[in-house]
Structure 1
Amino acid sequence: MAFLFGCEGVHLEYPTKKVLDNVTLGVHEGDRIGIVGQNGDGKSTLLGVLASTVEPEDGLVRRTRGLRIGMLAQRDSLDDEATVERAVVGDTPEYVWAGDARVREVIAALIADIDWQAQVGTLSGGQRRRVDLTRLLIGDWDVLMLDEPTNHLDMHAIAWLASYLNRRWPKGTGALLTVTHDRWFLDEVANAMWEVHDGAVDPFEGGYSAYVLQRVERDRVAQVTEQKRKNLMRKELAWLSRGARARSTKPKFHMALAQELIAGEPPVRNTLELRAMAMQRLGKQCVSLTRVTERFGDKTVLDNVDWTVGPGDRVGILGENGAGKTTLLKIVQGAIKPDSGFVKIGKTVKFAVLSQRLDELEEMSKYRVTEVLSRYRTRVVVDGKETTPAKLLERLGFSSRHLYTRICDLSGGQKRRLQLLLILLDEPNVLILDEPGNDLDTDMLAVLEDLLDTWAGTLVMVTHDRYLMERVTDDQYALIDGKVRHCPRGVDEYLELLAERDAASGSGRTFADVTGRGGAADAPQTAAPAAGTSPMLSNAELRDMKKRLASLNKKMGTAAKRVEDKQAEMDAADPTDFVRLGELQAELDALRAAKEELEDEWLELADALSVE
């Protein structure tokens, strides 16, 4: 694989912290690298150094001549006075960008709900983020560097983004570096991982799952090594020296090793035991919704919904941005009364809510952490063991010095963890979490999950973090078109329901919907078609074309997967077996031809829809 760019002996430190210490890294064609590490350890700084937006104190940054690097920073540099159209496509002529199927796909997938002519300065933070991501993705780059690309995206958009990045470049070309706390996304797009910690960057093979496996193995080896070191026997030390070198040459970690590492590990939680404990605290009644309807203006958020949350249930709510998930949470806790229907809340229910905002802590911002903890009980029981709030806070990543820090001086992630602890210290029996993973790095997310595993009570959670959703909850429900639908197969089933809905109703996001270019509503209803042109399509024909477009999208994905599988089979074949290679090449050519036919048909339909 050809070298693209990298750094050599890079050193960078700030007055209070050494961020990068003699770091040497290289990125080659075909690399898809996920970057993880604790908040503040230097992940974004590393991206900045490699992109040449941050100057290191020592060392070199090298790149091949003419390399085009696109960077998505955590803060955009969009012009507030510009329209969304200008921010996305700039001065590029309309016939150029509107005629590009890839550009149309990105615009329709990410900013379908944003006015194409709106000023950037009037947009919310999440909308600006999506406009900036759209601007980047439609560009022609050899390398993409993405800093938290999944922020402000719902699960549907995150799944699309992962699919798009996986097919953006032909196999073995281009390069992707992404900093994100979304572990499902990392598993989907990354073939290597970099862990940034203590001024160093450790490389790992594979996606997030492989990275976790290798970290567990590394920690196990370190523990064994420390155990042996304490034994002071010369023979044992000599054996250890040889064994450590042998282990470090192991190239990959396979499933057999994974099974060996987790053989003695109990299930993450005993569901039956937790439900029994919840029944004792809650009784048989938790929350029940009967024929509940809620509207905002002309939009029906909940449409005659019947739904029950029982004692000990661990429920995840899925839905697109704006579907009404937060409204449903407020109705469940009795914060708002629905337009019609009944909400029955058990007499023993005690709610606690972790909201997206940190307003609850703002009132205590001038106090130190230890002063706030002193208002609560000095002893709490977690996982059947008695402990103190301070010890529980240590479990959530706080050191002893943080206990004397003022609330206003804590980071966003620290505030969120402290807020969760204070909620648990109130001893609720129904916990409602709205995006609990915000501002948390991957290690802290694992700590949060471990803590929630031991909590005996009813849990209702909304999050766009697919990994967190599937890890913490036992049942997932989708809020689609005002209905609450159970998804026994989890997020995969939810995404399938969205695809079926869009295909059946023709409501899929289209390029014409976003830009308003050539929409049927723009043409005079009485105008006759010009000579030599096709008459305007009827609504039924438009719906049929959109269904075909959605179907073709699925077929194109399947065709692309078949081409990749056949290419992999050819790569693995015996290079001296020319007969077999010839057969595989013929099969590969046929698959590519079929894929191109689908793409041509898709382009024709997309062009027809954009014209209409």
Structure 2
Amino acid sequence: MAHLLGAEALHLEVPTKTVFDSVTLGVAEGDRIGIVGRNGDGKSSLLMMLAGRRSPDGGKVTMRGGTTIGVLDQADVFDDGETVGHAIVGDIPEYEWAGDPKIRDVIEGLVSDLDWEAEVSGLSGGQRRRVALARVLVGDHDMVFLDEPTNHLDVEGIAWLAEHLKRRWPRDQGALLVVTHDRWFLDEVCTTTWEVHDRIVEPFEGGYAAYILQRVERDRQNATIEQKRQNLAKKELAWLRRGAPARTAKPKFRIDAANELIADVPEIRDKVSLQSMAVTRLGKEVVNLIGAGVAYGDRTIIEDVEWRLAPGERTGILGVNGAGKSTLLSLITGSLEPTTGTVKRGKTVKVATLTQQLNELEAHLKEPVRTVIGRLRTSFTVGSGSKAQDLTPGQLLERMGFTSAQLSTPVKDLSGGQKRRLQLLLILLEQPNVLILDEPTNDLDTDMLAAMEDLLDTWPGTLLVVSHDRYFLERVTDQQYGIFARKLRHLPGGVDQYLELRAAEQAGMEISSSSGQAGGPQQISMKAPKAAAPKVSGAERRNAEKELSSIERKMERMRKDAAKTRDGLATLDQNDYTLLNAEMAKITELESAADDLETRWLELSELLG
């Protein structure tokens, strides 16, 4: 694959620390690279240096002549008085951009709900972000650099963006670099992951799930890596391997490697113990919505909601903006009374909500973190039964990624992600038994999201989550509901079923649903036919299955041979450069052949469905 961009010995410093020290890397045609790492470690700085938007303090970035780059940075800057249409297509005549199917697809996918002649300055932050993203994607660029592109996109928007980027260029053409904490998006789009940490950039093959597998393997082999981080990554790998939807289509050698690594990792949640403890704390009745509806004059927001929340229930709620999610949550918290039907709450119910605002911190901005936490409780119990343990405020903060130095930091000086974590801890220390999380993943990096998920695994109450982060939603909840045409519907098929129903709804197709008792599964079917899958004859399927099985065996053998040859390097004469080079060439050839076979494996897997 042709080389597009290279960075050599990059060095970057800020007033308080060295961000990068002698980083060398390259980008080639066909690369789809996701950039992950802790907040503050330099992900955005790296992207901007590679894009030429920021100059390194040392080293250089070179680019192939004639290469064009489209960049979405964190600041959405527009000219004064600029309209939505002009911001996206500029001065291109309408007959030109309207005749370009790629531009039409971007406009339809991102800004179809916006007035083409409206001034960008009058839009909300989320709308401005979508306009900025559309402005980048309508361009015909060799490389696209995106910094947090999924911010302010809903589940449908993120799914559209992933599909657009997957088919934007032909195979082995173009290049994508994306900084995002959306782990589903990373898995869906990226074939390489760069982890930014400790002043270096470490490459991993594959998307997020493959990166987690390799990181656990690295941590296991490297005794200097902190044990806590290793165990958390292993726990996430166990979830990815055992039950995450649509993440089981991996080559056999990877499945075996993952199974070996997680052999001693228990299930992420002890559901029986947690639900037993939840019943003890909550009683059998939590919140029952019986024929509940809310209307303002002639405008109905939601109607005929039948839902009985159970102790220990973990539910995700999906719906477009304006569908009625906030109204539904307000009925549960009691801040809103239904205009039809009834809402009954158990006597012991104590509801707490993690909102998108940081109101809980307003009164503590000048106080150190340690003081704020210590004032509420002296200990916090996590886990249940024999696994229950009491944590001090300091231990709880450490579990959520706060360092000893940060415990003395005033709240006002914390980063956005740190404030978000502190906000969650303040709510948990109040010991609610029903917890509502409204977009809880904002401002959190992937490591901190894993830490939050780990903490929620031991929380025994009833959990309701509204989030556009599909990975987080699937990770912390056991079932999902969606709001369609003012009614709440159970989604046995999860987020995938939600997207199917939304597509049918937008296409004007009729969606039927039998209304069962709340909390029980509802039978949902679409009366419009699904698109037919590509037909494969019986003989073609049998041949493909045989080839697939043969490829798996060959890949496994090649990987083992490469590993054996690499291990044997240590026994060779280190001064015999001819022999060493020959062995390295053999390893490279084996790994390259295995990569080619894996590509064919993926093609056959897609063919077989």
TM-score range relative to shorter protein? 0.7 to 0.9
Distance (whole Å) between structure 2 residues aligned to residue 463 and residue 287 of structure 1: 21
Question: 1:157-168 counterparts in 2 under 5 A?
Answer: 157-168=157-168
Query: Which secondary structure does the structure 2 equivalent of 1:223 belong to?
Result: coil
SS of alignment partner, residue 353 of structure 2: strand
Match for 1:255: what amino acid? Answer: I
- Note closer, same or farther for the CA distance 1:25–1:430 as it changes in structure 2 (3 Å cut): same
User: Matched residues in 2 for 1:257 and 1:156: separation?
Assistant: 33
* Structure 1, gaps ≥5 residues long: 228-250, 508-546, 575-587, 589-612
The yes-or-no answer on 1:76 pairing with 2:80 is no
Q: Deviations over 1:432-478 (max 9, x none)?
A: 11011111000000000000000011001100111100010011101
Structure 2 counterpart of 1:112: 112
Residue matched to 1:123: 123
Q: Secondary structure at the match of 1:381?
A: strand
Asked if the contact 2:370/2:393 (under 8 Å) is kept, the reply is no
Secondary structure at the counterpart of residue 465 of structure 2: strand
Change (3 A) 1:279 1:48: same
User: 1:9–1:59: 8 Å Cα contact kept in structure 2?
Assistant: yes
CA distance in 1, matches of 2:354, 2:128: 25
Query: Do residues 474 (structure 1) and 516 (structure 2) align?
Result: no
Shift of 1:321: 2.1
CA distance in 1, matches of 2:225, 2:418: 33
Q: CA deviation at 1:366?
A: 1.6
CA distance in 1, matches of 2:455, 2:120: 41
Native 8 Å contact 1:314 1:458 kept in 2: yes
Q: Which residue identity does 1:120 align to in structure 2?
A: V
Shift of 1:207: 0.5
Query: Counterpart in 2 of 1:420?
Result: 424
CA distance in 2, matches of 1:506, 1:140: 38
Q: Distance in 2 between matches of 1:332 and 1:277?
A: 21
Q: Which residue matches 1:311?
A: 311
- Residue in 1 that maps onto 2:405: 401
Deviation at 1:337, TM superposition (A): 1.6
Aligned to 2:24: 24
Q: Is the contact made by 1:18 and 1:198 (CA closer than 8 Å) also made in structure 2? A: no
| CA deviation vs aligned residue, 1:341-384 (integer Å, no higher than 9, x gap) | 21111110011110011012112212111221232121221121
Q: Which residue of 1 aligns with 2:490?
A: 486
1:211 match: secondary structure? helix
CA contact under 8 A between 1:32 and 1:189: conserved in structure 2? yes
CA distance in 2, matches of 1:10, 1:286: 56
Is the 1:205–1:211 contact (alpha carbons within 8 Å) kept by the matching residues of 2?
yes
For this pair of structures, how many residues does the alignment match?
505
Q: Determine the C-alpha separation between the residues in 1 that align with 2:253 and 2:115.
A: 49
TM-score by length of 1: 0.78
What pairs up with 1:481-520 in 2 under 5 angstroms? 481-505=485-509
Distance in structure 2 (CA, Å) of the matches to 1:324 and 1:166: 32
Structure 1 residue aligned with 2:389: 385
CA distance in 1, matches of 2:5, 2:41: 22
Alignment of structure 1 residues 39-50 onto 2, 5 Å: 39-50=39-50
CA contact (8 A) 2:314 2:464 kept: yes
Q: Residue by residue, what CA displacement relative to the aligned partner does 1:71-102 show, whole Å, maximum 9, x if unpaired?
A: 00111121241111111111000000011122
Task: Describe the shift of the 1:441–1:252 C-alpha distance in structure 2 as closer, same or farther (beyond 3 A).
Answer: farther
**Cα contact 1:30–1:173 (8 A) shared by 2:** yes
State the 1:322 CA deviation.
Answer: 2.1
Q: Secondary structure at the match of 1:443?
A: helix
3-state SS, counterpart of residue 363 of structure 1: helix
Match of 1:235 in 2: none
Q: C-alpha distance in 2, partners of 1:206/1:126?
A: 30
- Higher relative contact order structure (alpha carbons within 8 Å, sequence separation ≥ 6): 1
Q: 1:303 to 1:142 in 2, by over 3 A?
A: same
The aligned runs of 1:281-430 (5 Å cut-off) are 281-296=281-296, 299-383=299-383, 384-430=388-434
How far 1:488 sits from its partner (Å)?
Answer: 1.2
The partner residue of 1:450 within 454, 458, 463 is 454
Q: Secondary structure at the match of 2:506?
A: helix
| Equivalent position of 1:242 in the other structure | none
Contact 2:32 2:189 in 1 (8 A): yes
Change (3 A) 1:46 1:558: farther
**2:115 alignment partner, SS class:** coil
- 1:90-105 → structure 2 map (5 Å cutoff): 90-105=90-105
Aligned-residue offset at 1:263:
0.6
SS of 2:223's equivalent in the other structure is helix
CA contact 2:504–2:510 (8 Å) conserved in 1: no
Structural RMSD (CA): 2.8
Q: Which amino acid aligns with 2:407?
A: L
3-state SS, counterpart of residue 311 of structure 1:
coil
The one-letter code sitting in structure 2 at the alignment partner of 1:470 is E
* 1:180 to partner: Cα distance: 0.3
TM-score by length of 2: 0.79
Separation (CA, whole Å) in 2 of partners of 1:297 and 1:275: 40
1:481: Cα distance to partner? 1.4
| Aligned CA distance change for structure 1 residues 558 and 224 (closer, same or farther; 3 Å) | farther
Q: Secondary structure at the match of 1:36?
A: strand
SS in 2 for 1:292: strand
Is the 8 Å Cα contact of residues 285 and 346 (structure 1) preserved in structure 2?
A: yes
Rg larger for: 1
Q: 2:466 aligns to what? A: 462
- Per-residue displacement from partner, 1:191-218 (whole Å, max 9, x unpaired)? 0000001110000000000000000000
Give the percent of matched residue pairs that are identical in Structure 1 and Structure 2. Answer: 58
CA contact (8 A) 1:292 1:306 kept: yes
Structure 2 Cα separation of the partners of residues 142 and 403 of structure 1: 46
In 2: Cα distance, 1:5 partner to 1:252 partner: 34
Match of 2:519 in 1: none
Q: Which amino acid aligns with 1:395?
A: R
Mapped contact 2:190–2:207 kept (Cα < 8 A) = yes
